[in-house]
Structure 1
Amino acid sequence: MSINNVNYLKFYRNGSLLGSNSWESFINYKLLNAEKLRFDCDRSKESKAMLKKIYGEASYTDTLISPQSYVTLYMRYYHSDLLEYNERYKKYIVPNITSLKKQMVNEGIAEKVKTINNQAVWAYFAKMNTIQVHDSMLKFLHAVYTFPNFSSVCHGFNIGRVAKTQDNFIVALYHIYYYFEEREMGSLNSTTCDQLARFLSQNRFNNFVSLNQDEVVSNVQTWLDNYSSFANFIERYYLQDFLEDPDNSCSKPKELWEGIFDGKLLPSKKDFLTSIDFLTNAIKSRGKRIDAANSK
């Protein structure tokens, strides 16, 4: 069976997270982790076994394309009539959040109102409403929980890239591209490290800092310096399909929408569906590359 077909949510308690479609499965996953992380696809024993087989190590893992920001944006673009516009933040938000959290506690989804995370609030709201889900979103939400969306990485990279990129892997890859370009030009100095610092920050969880920014940058630099070039790095991790030209491993990361590399970290409504279609296809194509390379 192709690795593109296996949704790793199935490995939690005999498939109990799987719904009638990938939207329902996504909601179940987020509600499971409403207060604390109880299951993580890319860190499951099944995922780590595959990563170990392919990369030789799986101590630190990452889900490359994280779906949460795209799901939230989908709700804001296509179901804003169900949401409440917040003047302070200038965006649509879930209405009656406190009431929803109390309902979640009453239903046994969470134990305490104050410890429920925002992702779970969006998931519960989506569950409680009739949401028409576009086919592109259903395909996307399947792809992101398949093995081709997981990777072995270095210590600190996973959490370190989240804050400054809104967990956008394409943006992280863009800065990695320029790190290699500056290194290959012979300018391996503090400016080169600044390229990494532009998308990396401290590892912080529940007010506990496990790695500061300098430590994260140092770890990522050491990791990248194992590779002779950007192309070598891309080919090692089968990332060609996230580039402008998948047949040229030296090409730049794909500019999914105008401004993505200049601070516009999320697509406009006009670019939304084409963007998630690209990401879905890139994940699937990466899966084919991994399958082909490891079936010899």
Structure 2
Amino acid sequence: MNLFQIAGNQDLTSYLSSMENCPNCSTMLENHFVYCPGCGQTTDLPRFKIRHILDEFFQAIFSVDRGILFLIRNLATQPGVTARAYVLEKKRKKYVNPFSFLLLVLGLNLSVNVLIKPYTARFSTKKDTIQHVTPTVPKDVLPYIERRRQATFFIEENINIIGLAAIPLFAFIFWLCFRRSDINYAEHLVAQVFFSSFFSLFTILLTLLLGLALKHYLPFLNRTLLLFQLLYLSIAYFQFLHYQKPVDYVKTSAATLLALISWVALSGSVVFLYIRFGR
């Protein structure tokens, strides 16, 4: 209905006064609109009540077509297919935003690290004197051991920042290895956000299992995580690139191994330089 038709049937001023603005983006809304044409927000928004909060919470977690558990299930069973659907096939409404999910999982990972202390459990407190921990070590070596311990505490307390820092490097390595696939760096980056989110979730579960039930195996945490990451990313990228031949697993495994070696070399070099030359 255009304005000329409206003017012929009713007072234009009355019609305009009956319209409302979208509270989210201020777009003019007609009475029959169910969703805002500007931002897509529903026009029927009652005041918050406890039941509304519970409805939104359970929908966000348990929704069969878009909830967090739906995303987790898909990242566990078909990670590459999930990332491909979101990134390349543009099915953006089907899944929870991967960046929001990643930040949520990294926050949980940090909390679990503070609880379990998987890397610093051998130190009773952060303020222990290094002489008490290693009483037989020569004095000229003590500063290096102390800086190593400080680096270990830093890693444990900032595991979420370290996890975020690894994502751009992994995306670059995979983009470099598969640049003929016509998938750009940004698309690899979003795919890595999906894969890193699930890897962080697996890290949380494994850390809790080893820290609470199998403490004797806690020193094997990092090696287990590296092995899992190698297998998971190899499978995920096989699916993401839509490969069909089993021999292509060699390509994705080699790219994953290169990414892991690059990250270990880079992060290890930073720690080594701090231990060797830090103050």
TM range (shorter): under 0.3
Greater gyration radius: 2
Which protein has the bigger helix share?
2
What is the TM-score normalised by the length of structure 2? 0.24
Which protein has the bigger strand share?
1
What is the TM-score normalised by the length of structure 1? 0.23
